Structure 1
Amino acid sequence: MKAFIQSYKGKGDYRLHGAFAHLLAGQLPKNAVLVPLTSEPSHLRARGFDPVLGLFGQLRIARWLTKGDTDLPQAQKDRHGRLQTPQSFSATLPRGHARIRQVILLDDLYTTGRTLYHARNALRDAGYQGKVTSFSLIR
């Protein structure tokens, strides 16, 4: 998996984006809203694609979260640095979001969980009160 992430994200080999599509389709409940943790604008420009959207793009996803740029990518930080990362997500909820019982945050790689906590907090700050869980391809 380390080699996969290095090739896919580090070297920008987008051809790998569908490598796990057949496994992901049956793993997630159909009644939950799937919300991907998207890339920072600067990473998207540099890489040319969003790795999370590439991995989960074949699923029915809801783009509720927007991520702002941070000073340094998570991959370049140690554990302490990752845990100190400030909030960089904002959320825009659709009309009728109060009827949605569960959101599953989608991410490619779980290390400290800080990114997921920030995403959850952004949803809460925007007014979402349902259940928030996560699914990461790699942990």
Structure 2
Amino acid sequence: MPLCTICHTPFDPPTTWRHTLTIAPQPKLCAKCVEQLSLITPPICDICGRPLKELAPEYIYDTICYDCYRWEHDPTWSQTLTRNRSLYTYNDFMKEAMALFKFRGDYAVIYAFQEKLQQFYKQHYNKQDLLIVPIPLSNERLHERGFNQAEAIASLLPKLNLLESIAQLLPLKHFFFQQPFRIENILTRTHHEKQSKKSRTDRIHAKNVFSTNTQKINKPILLIDDIYTTGSTLRHAAKVLKEAGATSVSALTLIRG
């Protein structure tokens, strides 16, 4: 009997034909842990994906939240990030799961979200010809942590199955099948104080820590990161990529803080 990836309790995983045929990853969480996950549901902000039901009416501007309204009315940042979509809210359970993953080095935790993440990607992005770019860590932070959490999340995105691979030879394939994607580490990051220690104002006005040597990207980019908090990290990265020729920059994050 397998152990739950988070609480390490033995559990009998539910199986479906998709699991039996290995089309879907085997469940990694017990029912008790699954119940504590909080999936984000509509209505959400059109730009950052924040649940609008958690906001007072005065902090909602048509279909976007007040934070995104401020971003979009700042000439420096307007239209830098097309949209972000996040899978889960940052509740207490998810905070503990991310602490296990990022700060205590339990890499296996990320596999608990693989199936939902793959479904989520297919729901929002699989019909697009995208270049996948994980948000990088600085060399110092990478040495400290031992792995890049954004790269770990990107590695879970769904690969083409046999039918989808064959379908790439067909006309109109993008209407019916998942499109292939490439994961490219084209961003670098200089070392800086942890974002979690900065105020929103400090994050927005901080010097851009990202750079790229890639020119004339000429493709839409999908940034991958673990959490969207203020949107500063993703927008700073998006700004560099758009200056290098990206036609658009969107993001997929596991959590909306």
SS at match of 1:118: helix
SS at match of 1:22: helix
Displacement of 1:31 after TM fit?
Answer: 1.6
Q: Deviations over 1:57-116 (max 9, x none)?
A: 24441111111111x11122233333333211112327x732x2x111111111000000
What TM-score do the two structures reach when normalised by structure 2? Answer: 0.48
Return the match for 1:35 from 120, 130, 133.
133
In the alignment of these two chains, the number of paired residues is: 134
Counterpart in the other structure of 2:255: 138
| Residue type at the aligned position of 2:185 | R
| Residue type at the aligned position of 1:118 | H
Return the match for 1:18 from 97, 108, 111.
111
Q: Report the Cα distance in structure 2 between the residues aligned to 1:93 and 1:84, rounded to whole angstroms.
A: 25
Counterpart in the other structure of 1:104: 222
The list of structure 1 runs, each at least 4 consecutive aligned residues, that deviate by more than 3 angstroms after superposition, is none
Q: Report the Cα distance in structure 1 between the residues aligned to 2:202 and 2:225, rounded to whole angstroms.
A: 19
Counterpart in the other structure of 1:50: 148
| Residue type at the aligned position of 2:252 | F
Q: Deviations over 1:29-67 (max 9, x none)?
A: 252111110111111101111111112224441111111
Which is further off, 83-92 or 128-137? 83-92
1:4 and 2:97 are equivalent in the alignment: yes
Contact 2:117 2:156 in 1 (8 A): no
Q: Report the Cα distance in structure 2 between the residues aligned to 1:21 and 1:61, rounded to whole angstroms.
A: 17
Unaligned runs of 5+ residues in structure 1 are none
For residues 52-71 of structure 1, what are the structure 2 equivalents within 5 Å? 52-59=150-157, 60-70=182-192
Q: Report the Cα distance in structure 1 between the residues aligned to 2:98 and 2:197, rounded to whole angstroms.
A: 14
Unaligned runs of 5+ residues in structure 2 are 1-93, 158-181
* Percentage of matched positions with identical amino acids: 32
Return the match for 1:81 from 202, 208, 231.
202
| Residue type at the aligned position of 2:102 | K
RMSD, aligned CA: 1.9
Counterpart in the other structure of 1:113: 231
Contact 2:242 2:248 in 1 (8 A): no
Q: Say which one has the larger Rg.
A: 2
SS at match of 1:97: coil
Contact 1:36 1:63 in 2 (8 A): yes
SS at match of 1:134: strand
